[in-house]
Amino acid sequence: MMEVIRFAVLGVGHIGRRHMAIIQGHPETELVGLADIRSSQIVDQGDGVIPYFSDLTSLLTEGPPFDVLCICTPNGLHAEHALQALRAHKHVVIEKPMALSRADCEKVIHESLRCNRQVFCVMQNRYSPPITWLKSVIEEGLLGRIQLVQINCFWNRSDQYYLQNDGTPHTWHGTKSLDGGVLFTQFAHFIDILYWLLGDIEVIRTDMQNVAHQHNTEFDDSGNVIFRLIQGGGLGNLCFSTAAFRQNFESTITLIGENGTIKIGGQYMNQVEHCLIQGYEMPE
């Protein structure tokens, strides 16, 4: 008989609802519990069939048994929610970013080993066709030594994004403690792609500035990070901003290897814009 995996979702906002829909649409998974500090978030779901709770502690102590908790709360709460769930012997799916500091990520990993539970982080861009293709090109060594990497992330975050519907400041966007900054909330996927493709880096220099969001964020909205690839020693540059005019502009990665040049672009690093590799023809 097929074993059904029982899920609960913590944080029933924008992305929590996506988790709910995916769990409910999969034959091997069942959604058995929800929790959110704002009951309106859950009542909005309409059917009222799934038991819901006002916080994680009540879900864990009073809710139905389940196997996996999807953590879809604001960034700054991911680590404490993951630690609490792991200690209650749940596997966790953590929305990006895993946590807001390396120390917190390490605590979560340590706790998962201690409790013998799995931690899954949501990094869906790794599975986009251009990125899976690029990963295979790098692993097969087709580019030779990577000499230079350029990542550009230029998006727009309007004033509206940092407000609630009633015009008051957003509950977590723009705050240092719960949002953490644009490298966490907007560009985490692209930083993950960098590490996923090329391994660890050594940061040489960073310059950051809040060029357009001084009035509504507690962190810099733009910056430039110069780094070196640990493996092979190539130079890299990450240039990012949420101050692009009116709309998201691009998220691109350009790799200059000794045997080829590749640029993946588009709004979400999802289109091959250039590929020229010695003795290689790009598949359709």
Ligand X SMILES: NC(=O)c1ccc[n+]([C@@H]2O[C@H](COP(=O)([O-])OP(=O)(O)OC[C@H]3O[C@@H](n4cnc5c(N)ncnc54)[C@H](O)[C@@H]3O)[C@@H](O)[C@H]2O)c1
Q: Where does this chain bind ligand X (CB under 6 A)?
A: 10-16, 35-38, 41, 55-56, 72-75, 77, 95-96, 122, 124, 185
Q: How far is CA 184 from CA 175, 181, 252, in A?
A: 12, 6, 17
Which residue, 78 or 143, has its beta carbon nearer to ligand X?
78
Give the residue with the Cβ less far from ligand X, 95 or 111.
95
Cα distances (angstroms) measured from residue 190 to each of 76, 109, 228, 250: 19, 22, 17, 11
Smallest distance from the beta carbon of 54 to ligand X, in angstroms? 8
- Smallest gap from residue 8 Cβ to ligand X (A): 11
Q: Which residue of the chain is nearest ligand X when measured via CB?
A: 13
* C-alpha to C-alpha distance for 228 and 99, rounded to whole angstroms: 24
| Nearest residue (CB) to ligand X, 15 versus 243 | 15
Q: Which is nearer to ligand X, 93 or 262 (CB)?
A: 93
Least distance from C-beta 188 to ligand X, angstroms? 7
DSSP string covering the chain = -PPPEEEEEE--SHHHHHHHHHHHT-TTEEEEEEE-S-HHHHHTT----S-EESSHHHHHHHS---SEEEE-S-GGGHHHHHHHHHHTT-EEEEPSSS-SSHHHHHHHHHHHHHHT--EEE--GGGGSHHHHHHHHHHHTTTT-SEEEEEEEEE-B--GGGGB-TTSSBPSSTT-TTTT--HHHHTSHHHHHHHHHHH--EEEEEEEEE-SS-TTT-SS-SEEEEEEEETTT--EEEEEEESB-SSS--EEEEEEEETTEEEEEETTTT-EEEEEEETTB----
Q: Phi and psi dihedrals of 149, rounded to 5?
A: -130, 130
Q: Which is nearer to ligand X, 117 or 173 (CB)?
A: 173
Nearer of residues 191 and 255 to ligand X, judged by Cβ: 191
- Closest distance of CB 53 from ligand X, Å: 9
Select 154 or 184, whichever has its Cβ closest to ligand X: 184
Q: How far is the CB of 50 from ligand X (least distance, A)?
A: 15
CB of 36 to ligand X, least distance (A): 4
Nearest distance, CB of residue 182 and ligand X, angstroms = 11
